Structures are given as C-alpha cells and as structure tokens.
Amino acid sequence: MPLAAGSAGARPSWKASERKAVLSRAAAWLGSISFSFYLAHGLVIGVAFKLCVHFGWKPSGIKDGLLFAMLCLPLTTAVSAVTYYLIELPFLSLRRNYRQAQRGGVLVAEREKAPPAEASGAS
C-alpha cells in the first residue's frame, strides 16, 4: 500500500499545455535530427548486429527483434544527434553564410563585372 501512495504522489502534475509544449519541443528536436537519423540508422543497425553476433547473440524471432530494436533506437538517436551537431549544422551555417554573401552583393558584384552572355555572342 505505501508503494501505491508513494508512486501516486511522485507523479508530476503537469497541465495539458505543459505536456503539449514538452512534446512539441521533443518532436521538433527529433524532426531536426531526422535526416541524420535516416543516414545513420543502417550503419548503426549493421554494426550493432555484428557486435551482437560477435558476442554470441544472434537476434532471431519476434522477442529478439524487439529487444534488438530497443537497443538500436537509442543508439541511432545518439549517433544521429552527434552527427547533426558536428557535421550537419556547420554545413547548414556555411550555406546560410553563402546565401547572405550573395544577397549582400559580394558575389553579385563579381558577376556584374563579367560581360553579358548575349553581348559576347551577338558580335
């Protein structure tokens, strides 16, 4: 009986709006790493399977498959978060800087120095 009373009192009393905000942030974060997740999942599953076989466990059947999926899901999420922050975000910022440079006139001014294509072909 004390276990039931203790567990009921330990639950956070979140309002529906707070739950929705936390779930929205989690979903947004998962959405931001989704491309990295897509790229990393095959590698993680392959390496994890080889390691399992190496240590004497070859997943077969539904129970083993579910257990293997429960092992691979957090691993893939961790690997994809690392690759997102270390690889994908820096390249996205490079793209953003490149576009800002184009809009700022740096690259546009260099293009305006070159003769137009029609004028050189019309002579």
What residue type is assigned to position 49 of the chain? F
pLDDT value for 46: 96
* Cα 9 to Cα 1, 3, 5, 16, 83, distances in angstroms: 13, 10, 6, 18, 40
Over residues 6-34, mean pLDDT: 77
Residue-averaged pLDDT of the chain: 80
56 backbone φψ class: left, alpha, beta (φ>0; ψ -120 to 50): left
**pLDDT tops 70 at residue 6:** no
From the list 71, 34, 35, the residue with the least C-alpha distance to 51 is: 71
Domains in the chain: boundaries: 21-112
Q: Is pLDDT above 80 for 103?
A: no
Contacting residues for 88 by C-beta, under 8 A, at least 6 apart: 35, 36
pLDDT in tens, 44-98: 999 999 999 999 998 889 999 999 999 999 999 999 999 999 999 998 888 877 7
